A and B are shown apart, each in its own frame.
Chain A
Amino acid sequence: MKIIKTFVTGLISAMLILSPVAYADKWGDQFPHIKATGDIPGDCSYEEMSKKNYKGKTLKINTHAVPVIGQPTALHAEQFAKLTGAKVDVTHTPAGDLYAKAMVPFKAGQAPYDIVFGFSNFINDWRQYLAPVPKKYMNSTEMKDVTKSHVGVSSWDGTMYQYPVDGDRHYLKYRKDVIDNPEYQKKYKADTGKELKVPTTWKEYGEMAKYFNGWDWDGDGEKEYGSAEVMKKDDLMFAAFFSRSVAYAKNPRTPGGFFFDLETMKPNINNPGFVEALGDWVEATKYVPPGGINFGLGDEIGSFGGGQTLFSFSWDDAFIAAMQDDSPIKNKVGTAPLPGADKVWNRVSGKWENQYNQAPYIVWGWAVGVAKKSKVQEMAFDYLCFFSNGANHQADLAIGNFGVNPFKNSDFDPQLYIKTMGWDADIANSYTKTLKDMEKSKNRVFPLRVRGVFEFTSAVATGTSKALAGQLSPQEALDEVAKEWEAIVNRVGKKNVQEDYAVGVKMEDNKL
């Protein structure tokens, strides 16, 4: 029932948004950011916010560095201040430090920030310090438009602690001008005997990337390469690895845990599915640009977005960067779901199943919470609701480096991208379809959100990075990770991890 309800309300608000804006709009004149649409009615619209009076109150926010998420935070803070009379102080912190920057004061029993930005996988460590989203906002028009998986990612066992302001996921990005190029298709067929098309398995991805590695295939005088990936041993690396492993290791016929076996809490991380994926990844070091195994997210965005590689597969940023107006490869890139695999590991039977498998990784992304100890909670929630109200959200989506990506049902309308951002119709169509299909899939993997999650993910980064550097074989590396995971589980307490993990598994097994 709930699904249908959200869907219907989503549709309605989508229609509201798309209906030609009749509002001859005073807000659009005052706030140039929303000139394109004017104010869009809703519980947290400009109109509604202007009725609030927060004079004399201060709202303190810690957000990401500018511009990604940081700039919209600051911009909406400025607007919010103008509308309500509040004073809003914003600090900007690099992504890797957001966790500690909020966690240190939390732990010390302080709340220097009313609003803290972070990632959705912080939820379990942070939720004891965060205020749940009040009913009023849960029922707001804005919230009803949020897709089900983003409500899930922001909630802990049904209670929402993080306010949805952005949607993040991993999907495949590729160079359309190569993959769809008849000449290259002919050449590729002649040389390899295979079709050149959007890869649907990681093996195809690897073959194509290797073929298009190290020569100038777009005629700009510089060499191009196969794939740009986050391979630097940092706090994002594990996400790239899981994106590659879901195809081999997330079997829809074996519910009850992707990372662990929920019943025994034995790590699955070193089963043949993950090992196969890590093997692929080690192979990938041969078709990344020079220095590619030291690429962080920033390098990946620069590399693919700057036209250096054929493929890339992490967050939206690289694709959005490539689609910027001044980009030399605007409208030459396409999107598709993450590749799958021709076989999938069945951990119950302990055998490979030789059938096609694909699983979207609903990767963690930007999330934001209100501190429990904040003295201005209502104002804080008003701000967050205002942050992603209809008008702001649409305007934010259109600005690539804002880093705000679709997470509302109404966002999956291709017209939005064609009209305001000048995308080619088929690119916009495949983009929205890619995203929508991820929402629909029944074989999704949600991020690991157990307590002390960084101990687990950091172990993955260390292990996989040793494999990429050739220090260990994929099997050895993942055995080491599994051993480390078991040690962590023992330290944290098996019951505790199990209890936490059960919440995520419920979502994966489509029981929530």
Chain B
Amino acid sequence: MNFKQKYVFLFPGLFVLIGILIFPIIFVIRLSLSGWNSYNGLNFIGLENYIRLFTDDPRFWESFFRLSFLSVTTVILQYVIGFALAHMVWKDIKFQRFFRVLFLIPMMTTPVIMTVIWRTFFHESLGPVNDILSNFGMSPKWLTDPVLAKFTVIIVEVWQWTPFMFLLLLAGLLSLPKEPFLAAAIDGASPVRKFLYVTFPLMAPISIGAIIIRLIEASKIMDTVYVLTSGGPGTSTETSSFYIFIKGLREFQMGYAASMSFTYLIIMIVSLTVIAKVLTKLMLKD
């Protein structure tokens, strides 16, 4: 289909978005070429920030790899768990509607506030988790062990955002056409085969979409880290966005933070494009 009217559909949204964003984006690029901070204004220092970032800031790159680990892990977990849950409440199950509503709720909590609750939840001397575990002689250092703290961040992220996957995938499952399943039933396919050869391929497009959008969001992970551990112990839970936050709003090195953000943006766009391509190849074989 192709009509002249197609522009009438596309342009309002596109132009509103561009109209609001054009100035901020250009400004961020300009900002990244300046030493804008607490004592300097919008001067021009060329590529100095970028040179500093690429030659003299291992902390940014460490935090970036940590971020990659955290976001990929959380998104995989969210996808697997979200898919499992959606599949389980898809068809006949008791209290179906109750579970469906319940599983949606975590993502509706405001991260800055909810993470405070999580912090008290995992508080190693005043929280309930270790209070219960101590009866079995265990007292894991949820927030103060460099390795475990990463998993605590993952747990909280998975709790909060699995519903996102769950909802998209459940909606996808509910809109699947019936014919392929009938055909599979006639062939006498086992439930596992049915899942692998019918359900999963049909769900692939929506899965890719959901994974990409979750990767984008998960990579901005910030409130969780800030409230739970402030990037600690040491730097063991520091992510790129948290590091940019520290440099930008805490130390007020806005110019430098802008150059980091812009670099981050480019890296993310490239890697998301690659990830999308790879996922499409893997999941849409046919």
- Residue numbers of A with Cβ under 8 A of B are 96-97, 99-100, 103, 107, 125, 225, 232-235, 289-294, 296, 299, 302-303, 308, 451-452, 454-455, 458, 462, 465-466, 468-472, 487, 491-492, 496
Given known contacts A103-B252, A291-B123, A454-B250, A469 and B236 CB-to-CB distance under 8 angstroms: yes
B39 touches A125 (CB 8 A): yes
B74 to chain A, nearest CB (A): 21
Q: In the complex, are the beta carbons of A292 and B144 less than 8 A apart?
A: yes
Cβ distance B215 to chain A, nearest Cβ, rounded Å: 27
Whether the pair A469, B252 counts as a contact (CB closer than 8 A) is: no
Q: A466-B234, A469-B234 are in contact. Are A290 and B251 (CB under 8 A)?
A: no
Contacts of B96 in A (CB 8 A): none
Report A-chain residues with C-beta under 8 Å of the C-beta of B142: 291
Does A451 lie within 8 Å of B250, measured CB to CB?
no
Query: Do A290 and B130 form a contact, CB below 8 Å, given A452-B37, A458-B246?
Result: yes
Q: In the bound complex, how far is the Cα of B59 from the Cα of A294, in angstroms?
A: 21
User: Please, how many angstroms separate the alpha-carbon atoms of A268 and B271 in the complex?
Assistant: 43
Knowing A290-B125, A290-B141, A492-B39, the reply to whether A100 touches B250 (Cβ < 8 A) is yes
Complex: chain A residue closest to B232, CB-CB: A233
Whether, in the assembled complex, B280 has its beta carbon less than 8 Å from a beta carbon of chain A, the answer is no
Q: Is the CB of A465 within 8 A of B252?
A: no
Does B22 interact with chain A (Cβ within 8 Å)?
A: no
B50-99 interface (Cβ within 8 A of A) = 56, 59
A458 and B251 within 8 A (CB): yes
Q: List 11 A-B contacts (CB under 8 A).
A: A107-B254, A125-B38, A235-B250, A290-B124, A293-B233, A296-B230, A454-B251, A458-B250, A462-B235, A465-B233, A471-B236
Residues of B near A496 (CB, < 8 A) are 39
B224 in the interface, Cβ–Cβ < 8 Å? no
Is the CB–CB distance between A469 and B125 below 8 Å?
Answer: no
Residues of B within 8 A of A491 (CB): 35
CA A454 to CA B245, docked complex, whole Å: 13
- Residues of B within 8 Å of A469, CB to CB, are 146, 232-234, 236
Q: Are B124 and A291 in contact, CB atoms less than 8 angstroms apart?
A: yes
A496, closest chain B residue (CB): B39
- Tell me whether B231 is interfacial, beta carbon within 8 Å: yes
Q: Do B232 and A465 touch (CB < 8 A)?
A: yes
Bitwise interface map of B from 237 to 254 toward A, beta carbon under 8 Å scored 1, else 0:
000000000100111111
Interface of B is mostly: loop
B229 within 8 A of A: yes
| Contact in complex: B235, A465 (CB < 8 Å) | yes
Q: A454-B251, A458-B246 known; A294 and B229 CB under 8 Å?
A: yes
Q: Which residues on the A side are within 8 Å of B235 (C-beta)?
A: 233, 462, 465-466, 471
Complex alpha-carbon distance, A491 and B253, angstroms? 11
User: Which of A293, A472, A487 lies in contact with B232, CB distance below 8 A?
Assistant: A293
Of the candidates B56, B123, B234, B254, the one whose C-beta lies within 8 Å of that of A468 is: B234
Given contacts A96-B250, A103-B38, A103-B252, contact A232 B232 (CB under 8 A): yes
Check A471 against B234 for contact (C-beta < 8 Å): yes
Mark B139-156 against chain A: 1 for CB-CB distance below 8 A, else 0. 101111010000000000
Query: Nearest-CB distance from B140 to chain A (Å)?
Result: 10
A487–B52 Cα gap in the complex (Å)? Answer: 11
Q: Which residues of B contact A451 (CB under 8 A)?
A: 38-39
> With contacts A233-B233, A289-B124 known, what are 10 further pairs, Cβ within 8 A?
A103-B38, A232-B230, A290-B125, A290-B139, A296-B230, A451-B38, A454-B250, A454-B252, A455-B253, A465-B234
Structural contact, A302 and B232, CB atoms closer than 8 A: no
Task: List the B residue with the shortest CB-CB distance to A125.
Answer: B38
> Is B126 part of the binding interface, using a Cβ–Cβ cutoff of 8 Å?
yes
Distance from B260 Cβ to chain A, minimum over Cβ atoms (Å): 15
Q: Which residues of B contact A455 (CB under 8 A)?
A: 37, 251, 253
Complex: A100 Cα to B251 Cα, angstroms: 9
Residues of A with C-beta under 8 A to B246: 458
Contacts of B144 in A (CB 8 A): 290-294
In the complex, which residues of chain A have a beta carbon less than 8 angstroms from the beta carbon of B130?
290
Hey, which chain A residues are within 8 Å of B233, CB to CB?
233, 293-294, 465, 468-469
Residues of B within 8 A of A452 (CB): 37-39, 251-253
A163, B37: Cα distance in complex, Å = 25
Chain B, residue nearest A237 (CB): B230
What are the interface flags for B26-46 relative to A under an 8 Å C-beta threshold, 1 for contact and 0 otherwise? 000000000111110100000
Q: Bound complex: CA of A234 vs CA of B231, how far in Å?
A: 9
Closest to A467 in B: B234
User: In the assembled complex, which residues on chain B have CB atoms less than 8 Å from the CB atom of A289?
Assistant: 124-125
Task: Name which residue of chain A comes closest to B149, CB basis.
Answer: A294
Residues of B within 8 A of A296 (CB): 230
Of all chain B residues, the one with the shortest Cβ separation from A100 is B249
Residues in A with CB closer than 8 Å to B146 are: 469-471
Nearest CB of chain B from residue A124's CB, rounded to whole Å: 8
Residues of B within 8 A of A290 (CB): 124-125, 130, 139, 141, 144
Asked whether, in the complex, the Cβ of B143 is within 8 Å of the Cβ of A291, the reply is yes
| Across-interface contacts of B253 in A (CB, < 8 A) | 452, 455
Contact A99 B124 (CB under 8 A): no
How distant is the Cα of A321 from the Cα of B236 in the complex, in angstroms?
32
**Are B38 and A233 in touch, CB under 8 angstroms?**
no
Residue on A with the closest CB to B254? A107
Q: How far is the CA of A222 from the CA of B125 in the complex (A)?
A: 10
- Complex Cα gap A225–B123 (Å): 15
- In the complex the two chains form, what is the Cα distance from A455 to B251 in whole Å? 5
The CA of A302 and the CA of B120, in the complex, are separated in Å by 12
What is the bound-complex CA distance between A317 and B48, given in angstroms?
43
- Inter-chain CA distance A299–B120, complex, in Å, is 10
Chain A residues with CB below 8 A from B252, complex form: 99-100, 103, 125, 452, 454
Q: Which residues of B contact A466 (CB under 8 A)?
A: 234-235
Cβ-defined contact, A308 with B125, below 8 A: yes
